[in-house]
Structure 1
Amino acid sequence: MLLYYLRTFLPWILLAVVSGWNDQAGAAAGLAAALVLLAQDLRKGHRLDSLILELSTIVFMALLTALAFAAPDSSLLDYGASMAIGWLALTAWGTVLAGRPFTEGVGRRDVADEIAATDLFKRITTVIAIVWAVSFTVMALVLAYVQHAAPDNTALLVAVKIAGFSVPIVFTARYPEIAQKRYFARHGIDRETVR
């Protein structure tokens, strides 16, 4: 799972690292990585509903690249980290509000169709998407504040990002098992018979 997240967020990591030297190069590197990863996923046969974050990443990176080249002195570029995470928050909230949380398509990669069709699966993926959306929202707001008040405090910016991603990653790894145990206990289902 950790590799999935590292791979999914690689364009964002490249954006953050390379933009430290040059905004245009950072945006272009993020866009190039996003396009390559999407092409690989499509070649592997992944369904589009499991690639919502990847598609959203391409849109953001394309817009940011256009801004970086059209207006390289724009003050908006000073808030690249908070804008990027804010975009992810909008994406996550949008999928939740649309009733199709981005985590549902991702979760389908690892389960049988019968399990993906259950209410339990849908509840679990919705809760996980909400946790990601909240984390992205809080992280974007904190990053915006730090980028405004202490833009040169790289250690604080990195700490905010690490904390902001760590919480939902750990939650995503642990919550499905916890939710299943609660569901089975509430309904008197023996877990061994389900396996």
Structure 2
Amino acid sequence: MLGTPTGAERTLGRAFASAVAEFVTTGSVRDRLPCAPATAARIRHGRASRTSAKCDDRHMRGLELRRSPCIQSATVTKRPRSDSMAYLRGFIPWIVAGVVTSFDWRWGALGGLVSGLLLLVLERRRGVGLDALILEISSVVYFAVIAVVAVTRPHSVLADHVDVVSFAWLAATAWGTLAIRRPFTVGIAKRQTPREYWEMPEFIRVNNHITSAWGAGFTFIAVSLAVLGAVDAPLWAGITARVAGLVAPAAFTKVYPARAQARLSAAPAPLAAVPQQSPEGADAP
């Protein structure tokens, strides 16, 4: 004979009845019964112990907790959102201008301005904050000035040095944001990092280093192009300088944050300072 049913058996019976009723009415069930096969066998043969019943209760309560919308939303928000294309999107106007300038620098400046404005509007409509669009705003300002000069003075001497000026502007943007303690990479990093990490010194330090890497890359390209232009170097030398100056900070941006996070995780937690109490009866200083 079967004894008095335990709490786990009652819960299992209710879940089984609900599943059968759902199967009859809809033809399917949403979830499998939260019961291990061994537990079901023990219940069928009437040998379920109090220990297994307690474990089943805890197991089922855990399932209900994991299915809670609050727990699920908290788990989702803890995950950093990966946005590896954020940096590349900021350079779209420069890529457009670089391609079109090979035909006419006036159309290159206008193409960079139009693509920069379009990118800025689209990002704002997506809800991206202005602190994450420093590079895009700087690009629009640059191409607006260059477009005015190119249209009004198409034979300006600036046409022969627009590549040097463009990378010098990017370098000034990177170093300028560091000077005012607003690295342009911080806004991009915030789109990929949970809010609770934004004020951590390590987060700010990592972005200072990444912005410095991009500033160094832009500066290297600008100086290299200026020197190569002065000595009338071949075209491949300028292409090599561009590739080296862009690939190096891009690789640093990809690798350095992960290494910094690993180093921070491996570091031992600092011991909390315990205030020393004076012995009983001793006069306080």
Deviation at 1:176, TM superposition (A): 0.5
Letter of the 1:155 partner, please give it. W
More helix by share: 1
Map of 1:45 onto structure 2: 127
1:83 to 153, 165, 170: 165
2: CA distance, partners of 1:70 / 1:82: 21
Higher mean C-alpha displacement, 46-55 vs 174-183: 174-183
What's the TM-score, normalizing by structure 2? 0.63
Map of 1:54 onto structure 2: 136
Map of 2:243 onto structure 1: 162
Map of 2:225 onto structure 1: 143
- Cα deviation digits, residues 13-70 of structure 1 (max 9, x gap): 1111111110100000000000000011000000000000000000000011011112
Equivalent residues in 2 for 1:77-156 (5 A)? 77-150=159-232, 153-156=234-237
Deviation at 1:2, TM superposition (A): 5.5
2: CA distance, partners of 1:90 / 1:166: 19
Deviation at 1:167, TM superposition (A): 0.4
Secondary structure at 2:85 match in 1: helix
8 Å Cα contact 1:50-1:104 kept in structure 2:
yes
Map of 1:186 onto structure 2: 267
Map of 1:176 onto structure 2: 257
1:27 to 109, 117, 126: 109
2: CA distance, partners of 1:162 / 1:173: 16
Secondary structure at 1:73 match in 2: coil
Map of 1:192 onto structure 2: none
1: CA distance, partners of 2:162 / 2:92: 16
Percent of aligned positions that are identical: 36
8 Å Cα contact 1:78-1:147 kept in structure 2:
no
Higher mean C-alpha displacement, 6-15 vs 119-128: 6-15
Which residues of structure 2 form unaligned runs of 5+?
1-82, 271-285
Map of 1:7 onto structure 2: 89
Secondary structure at 1:59 match in 2: helix
What's the TM-score, normalizing by structure 1? 0.91
Cα RMSD (Å)? 1.6
- Cα deviation digits, residues 92-151 of structure 1 (max 9, x gap): 001001011001111000011101121111110111011111111111110122233327
- Distance change in 2, residues 1:7/1:154 (3 Å): farther
1: CA distance, partners of 2:211 / 2:129: 18
Which has the higher relative contact order, 1 or 2, with Cα contacts under 8 A spaced 6 or more apart?
1
Which residues of structure 1 form unaligned runs of 5+?
190-195
Higher mean C-alpha displacement, 178-187 vs 21-30: 178-187
Larger Rg: 2
Letter of the 1:178 partner, please give it. R
Letter of the 1:68 partner, please give it. A
Deviation at 1:188, TM superposition (A): 4.5
Q: Within the alignment, does 1:65 sit opposite 2:147 as a pair?
A: yes
8 Å Cα contact 2:177-2:184 kept in structure 1:
yes
Question: How many equivalent pairs are there?
Answer: 188
1: CA distance, partners of 2:231 / 2:152: 26
Deviation at 1:180, TM superposition (A): 1.6
